[in-house]
Structure 1
Amino acid sequence: MKVSLNDYSELLASGYNLDRNQISQVAGLLIDNGVDEDSKCAFLKRFSAKGETDEEFAGFVSEFRKLAKNPQLDDYADRAIDLCGTGGDRSGSFNISTFVSLVVAAAGVPVIKHGNRSISSKCGSADLLEALGIPMETDPEKLNASLSELNFCFLFAPYFHPAFKCLAPIRKKMAEEGIITMFNRLGPCLNPATPAHQILGVYDPVYLEQMAHSLASNGSKSGWIVHGIVDEKTSQRMDELTACGPNHIRPYGTGKDSKITLEPNHWGIGRYPKKDLNGGTLQQNLSILRGLLNGDAPAGLRATIIINVSSALWIAGNVGSIEAGILWAEELLCDGSVSRWLNKAREHFAK
């Protein structure tokens, strides 16, 4: 007997946790155009109300990864890193993880960045990269060539996850109703290349453990799930490591797999005000990026970039300590390496 999505909603209402076989069936029903939107909305509301277990969330990550297009980046994935966040922190910040990705690539570390256009912000990673002359490549041969030449490629999420297209109206409806579902967090876990390492920011520290478990159980070797407190008086927070306050971190695969909290002074850096991280429109963020390249950016933003770059270099195994990563990050920002990398990238994609 075929089980409907409404049947699963009834199970959830009783507090039932789904097993892997049921998760596979539900994932199929959610992307089935033949299943009505009301049933999908009802299921997501029930699932959100029950709360996903770590195993359930990891199961959905596994199922939706299976549905993704394969970018065929196996020659690089086993030493590559992805840096991204869930968004949804309403911080209005600059594209920190995107710029950090470029700095890390300039250091020679393969970066397979997975992202999208603006959703909750004024300027998404894809928007900024396109403005810098980095197109949304989809052909595996071109993606491999980009990694070979630049140590960087960008996987545009809507192309690599076509199954999610039919879910867009449901996700929009949920957002309009203020309902947070698993789809608010799934995207950063679904890099179709499965890079070995990841720094993933979450908008709420309650999800640190869940996200770490999901990545570790779905092929990621090591990484940090992070959440930054940028103003302790107002409890303002971000899906980033920052130089503005304490950073909650859940490492996995690094030998210390329990939650830690690190102040900016762990990186030898003082605290800075959150306003230093503020971003804006695409044009405003391009101006901020030029300031970072020219040594004319807010001190707190530069410090935040150093924190993230040094951490990424260490997680990817390219330095033996955070301290060594800090020195390298500072050198990359000061010696023109990133500007030269961007010029090389423009030349590469102009061919």
Structure 2
Amino acid sequence: MKETLDYLFAGNSLTKEEACSVLTKIGEGQYSELEIASFLTVFRMRPIKAEELAGFRQALLDLCISVDFSEYNAIDVVGTGGDGKNTFNISTASCFVIAGAGYKVTKHGNYGLSSVSGASNMFEYFGYQFSNNIEKLRKEVEETGICFFHAPLFHPAMRHVGPVRRALKVRTLFNMMGPIINPSSPKNQLVGVSDLTIMDLYYQVFKQGDQNFMIVHSLDGYDEVSLTNDTKIVSNSGEKLISSADFGFKNLKQEELSGGKSVEDAARIFKGTLEGTGTDAQKNVVIANAALGIKCMFPERSLSDCVSEATEALESKKAFGVFNKLMNLK
């Protein structure tokens, strides 16, 4: 680590292979907390490079408890967090809509960092039992269309980093790793990012693989389609801007997307949106993100058709049916 730190402090960057090697050693517990803290500090002082991010991603995927669900044309919809907007659980709700439309979802997530409630807070609140038992997860996908990977159970190597992150109390490179280390490596991924720098980094990483991907960023800072402003999308087929009108909706106000002040508030909004008692704003923003997820899976389909499909899945309560079935599955 001393040689690596001297090399980085001199202004150099790591190759993908070097980045993979050092993070593998961190994950194996070969370095002290002080050494790890020094290493993480480098990437607070200067931007992470795409090759470094790709190497860190490879290390964490190599070290994780992997799940082979390759027989499914599955998707994950997830945001990086860090946008400071404290929205309700839009990405998670859109996953249930996609599953309600008849597709397979392998959702990866954790507790909230920049918001009141992350995906894990939501699943836990409603009684979902976190597990890395592959057969349990497979049964959930087969019978409901969705399962959830609680990140700490699939990335045991992160236990060596956790104490350092908690002690530093600042965002580190690991804050941007979650969305790109789904242990099932789904064939499709809709990822929201909080700034354009991360968008470019993710694009450099994703384009090296064979996934269908869409990376989205609302121009007013949301790490998802917010319908409060235009959204930039970068995908396998290039980049473009889309507006609320492209989904058939009007622009929303930021306060209409609030997740409240507690997990209980967020859970009430989340469940209300799925069961049909939420506001039009809550419903529309979930439909928009679900529609884009379907579009990611099937690029040849028109966005309006995807919106219609997502709308039907939500308004018919198929999405709510998936939610209830998953939470009550034994």
Give yes or no for contact 2:36–2:164 (8 Å, CA) kept in 1: yes
1:189 aligns with 2:180: yes
Aligned to 1:263: 243
User: What code does the residue aligned with 1:243 have?
Assistant: L
| Rounded Cα–Cα distance in structure 1 between residues aligned with 2:198 and 2:299 | 28
Aligned to 1:38: 34
1:341 aligns with 2:322: yes
Aligned to 2:233: 249
User: What code does the residue aligned with 1:282 have?
Assistant: V
Relative to structure 1, the CA distance from residue 85 to residue 220 in structure 2 (aligned partners, 3 Å threshold; closer, same or farther) is: farther
Aligned to 1:228: 218
| Rounded Cα–Cα distance in structure 2 between residues aligned with 1:172 and 1:125 | 20
Report the CA distance between 1:227 and its aligned residue: 1.4
| Rounded Cα–Cα distance in structure 2 between residues aligned with 1:342 and 1:51 | 39
| Rounded Cα–Cα distance in structure 1 between residues aligned with 2:114 and 2:257 | 17
1:127 aligns with 2:121: yes
Aligned to 2:71: 75
Report the CA distance between 1:51 and its aligned residue: 2.2
1:301-350 CA distance string (max 9 Å, x none): 22211111111111112871111011111212211212222232234x2x
Aligned to 1:213: 204
User: What code does the residue aligned with 1:6 have?
Assistant: K
Relative to structure 1, the CA distance from residue 130 to residue 181 in structure 2 (aligned partners, 3 Å threshold; closer, same or farther) is: closer
1:14 aligns with 2:5: no
Report the CA distance between 1:20 and its aligned residue: 3.1
Aligned to 1:200: 191
| Rounded Cα–Cα distance in structure 1 between residues aligned with 2:185 and 2:303 | 24
Give yes or no for contact 2:217–2:223 (8 Å, CA) kept in 1: yes
Aligned to 1:161: 155
Report the CA distance between 1:298 and its aligned residue: 2.6
User: What code does the residue aligned with 2:134 have?
Assistant: P
| Rounded Cα–Cα distance in structure 1 between residues aligned with 2:300 and 2:98 | 12
| Rounded Cα–Cα distance in structure 2 between residues aligned with 1:293 and 1:54 | 37
TM-score (norm 1): 0.88
Relative to structure 1, the CA distance from residue 7 to residue 92 in structure 2 (aligned partners, 3 Å threshold; closer, same or farther) is: same
Give yes or no for contact 1:146–1:152 (8 Å, CA) kept in 2: yes
Give yes or no for contact 2:232–2:242 (8 Å, CA) kept in 1: yes
Aligned to 2:292: 311
Partner secondary structure for residue 112 of structure 2: coil
Partner secondary structure for residue 239 of structure 1: coil
Q: Once superposed, what is the RMSD of the aligned Cα atoms?
A: 1.9
The aligned runs of 1:84-95 (5 Å cut-off) are 84-95=78-89
Partner secondary structure for residue 328 of structure 1: helix
Alignment partner of 1:282 out of 263, 271, 275: 263
Relative to structure 1, the CA distance from residue 214 to residue 331 in structure 2 (aligned partners, 3 Å threshold; closer, same or farther) is: same
Report the CA distance between 1:53 and its aligned residue: 1.5
User: What code does the residue aligned with 1:246 have?
Assistant: D
Give yes or no for contact 2:93–2:274 (8 Å, CA) kept in 1: no
Alignment identity in percent? 28
Relative to structure 1, the CA distance from residue 342 to residue 318 in structure 2 (aligned partners, 3 Å threshold; closer, same or farther) is: farther
Aligned to 1:64: 60
User: What code does the residue aligned with 2:84 have?
Assistant: R
Partner secondary structure for residue 130 of structure 2: coil
User: What code does the residue aligned with 1:264 have?
Assistant: S
Give yes or no for contact 1:248–1:262 (8 Å, CA) kept in 2: yes
Partner secondary structure for residue 320 of structure 1: coil
Partner secondary structure for residue 127 of structure 1: helix
Report the CA distance between 1:220 and its aligned residue: 4.8
User: What code does the residue aligned with 1:225 have?
Assistant: I
Give yes or no for contact 1:264–1:271 (8 Å, CA) kept in 2: yes
Aligned to 1:238: 222
User: What code does the residue aligned with 1:270 have?
Assistant: K
Q: Which runs of 5+ in 1 are unaligned?
A: 231-236
Give yes or no for contact 1:73–1:140 (8 Å, CA) kept in 2: no
Relative to structure 1, the CA distance from residue 294 to residue 80 in structure 2 (aligned partners, 3 Å threshold; closer, same or farther) is: closer
The aligned runs of 1:104-183 (5 Å cut-off) are 104-174=98-168, 176=169, 178=170, 180-183=171-174
Partner secondary structure for residue 75 of structure 1: coil
Q: Which runs of 5+ in 2 are unaligned?
A: none
Give yes or no for contact 1:198–1:220 (8 Å, CA) kept in 2: no
Aligned to 1:49: 45
Relative to structure 1, the CA distance from residue 45 to residue 343 in structure 2 (aligned partners, 3 Å threshold; closer, same or farther) is: closer
